[in-house]
Structure 1
Amino acid sequence: MFACGPVLLSPHVSAATNAYAVEVLSDLPIAYWKLDELSGTAMTDSSGHGRNGLYGGLVALGNPPLITAGKSIKTSTTGTATVATAPNDAALRLPGDFSLEFWIKTGATTGNVLSMEQGGVNYPSWQLGLNSSGCIKLELRTSNGGSIAALIATSAINDNAIHHIVYTKNGSLVTAYVDGAPNATGSFTGPPFSSTDPVSVGCSYAPGYDTSAMIGSLDEVAIYDTALSAARVLTHYTAGIAP
Structure 2
Amino acid sequence: MSARLYDRPDLDQREGRLALYVTGSLPNAMPSQAYEGRLQITNSVGACTVRQIDGDTLPPGHRLYVDQASRQVVLAWPAFQENAAPIANPGFEDGPTGWEAGAGWVIATENPPVGLWAAGYNNNQGESVISSTSRYAVYAGQRTSAKCKVRQGASAEGNAGASVLLEYRDQDGQVVGRVEGNRVMSASKNRVYDSDVVGTAPAGAATINIAGNGIRYRENKILFVDAFEWDHAVAAAGVNHEVTYAITLLVSDSLGRSARWEGRVVVAVIRDYATEVLLDAPVAYWKLDDALGAVSFADSSGNGISARTIRTWAGAATEPLMQRGPLRTGGQSGWFDGISNIGVEPGSGGFSRLAISPSGRFAVECVLETPTFLGNSTPYILRKQAEASTAHYEDYLLGFAGNQTFQLVFGWTNSGTGSARHVTAPFPLEAGRIYHVLGVCDVVDGVVTVSLYINGELVAMRDDSSMQQLPIDSAGAFTVNAPQNWGAWSFSGRISDIALYAHPLSAARALAHARAAGLAAL
Same fold (TM over 0.5): yes
**Alignment match, 1:29:** 282
Is residue 2:384 matched to residue 1:112?
A: no
Larger Rg: 2
Structure 1 unmatched ranges of 5 or more: 1-17
- Distance in 1 (alpha carbons) for counterparts of 2:500 and 2:321: 22
- Verify the 8 A CA contact 2:483 2:489 in the aligned structure 1: no
Residue identity matched to 1:98: F
> In the alignment, does 2:375 pair up with 1:103?
no
**1:187-206 maps to which residues of 2 (within 5 A)?**
187=463, 188-191=467-470, 193-201=472-480, 203-205=481-483
Map Cα deviations across residues 143-201 of structure 1 (whole Å, 9 max, x no partner): 32431212111231142101010010111111100110100001443225414132101
Equivalent-residue separation in structure 1 for 2:408 and 2:335 (angstroms): 18
Mapped partners of 2:410, 2:318: distance in 1: 25
Tell me how far apart the structure 1 counterparts of residues 335 and 450 of structure 2 sit (CA, whole Å): 28
The offset of 1:114, in angstroms, is: 0.6
What is the SS of the residue equivalent to 1:54? coil
CA RMSD of aligned residues (A): 2.5
Of 394, 407, 421, the residue aligned with 1:124 is 394
Unaligned ranges ≥5, structure 2: 1-270, 310-316
Distance 1:86 1:194 in 2: 14
Q: Secondary structure at the match of 1:131?
A: strand
Is the aligned partner of 1:238 residue 2:510?
no
- Measure the CA separation in 2 of the matches of 1:215 and 1:70: 19
Please report the TM-score for the alignment, with normalisation by the length of structure 1. Answer: 0.81
1:46-74 per-residue CA deviation (whole Å, 9 max, x = no partner) reads 00001101145151114311111221011
**1:211–1:116 CA distance, 2 compared to 1 (3 A):** farther
Alignment CA distance shift 1:141-1:111 (3 Å):
closer
Paired residue total = 221
1:148 equivalenced with 2:148 (yes/no)? no
Counterpart in the other structure of 2:228 = none
Question: 1:93 and 1:206 mapped to 2: Cα distance?
Answer: 20
Higher strand share: 2
What residue in structure 2 maps to residue 185 of structure 1?
A: 461
2:298 matched residue in structure 1 = 44
Distance 2:432 2:494 in 1: 9
Structure of greater relative contact order (alpha carbons < 8 Å, 6+ residues apart): 1
Instruction: Answer whether contact 1:74 1:216 (CA < 8 A) is retained.
Output: yes
Equivalences for residues 9-88 of structure 1 within 5 A: 19-38=272-291, 39=293, 43-55=297-309, 56-57=317-318, 59-75=320-336, 77-78=337-338, 81-88=339-346
Equivalent residue of 2:423, what SS?
strand
Residue 40 of structure 1 deviates from its aligned partner by 5.3
- Checking the alignment, whether the CA contact within 8 Å between 1:111 and 1:215 is kept in structure 2 is no
Distance change (3 Å), C-alpha of 1:94 and 1:214: farther
CA distance in 2, matches of 1:21, 1:231: 16
Identity of aligned residues (%): 26
| Secondary structure at the counterpart of residue 503 of structure 2 | coil
- Large movers: runs of 4+ above 4 Å: 39-42
Q: 1:206 to 1:192 in 2, by over 3 A?
A: farther
Distance between the aligned counterparts of 1:224 and 1:162, measured in 2?
22
TM-score of the superposition, structure 2-length normalised? 0.39
| Segment of structure 1 superposing worse, 40-49 or 177-186 | 40-49
- Return closer, same or farther for 1:192/1:37 CA change in 2, 3 Å cut-off: farther
Q: 2: distance between equivalents of 1:150 and 1:24?
A: 24
- Say which SS state the counterpart of residue 512 (structure 2) adopts: helix
Work out the CA distance in 2 between the residues paired with 1:149 and 1:192: 14
Q: Check conservation: 1:142, 1:190, Cα contact below 8 A.
A: no
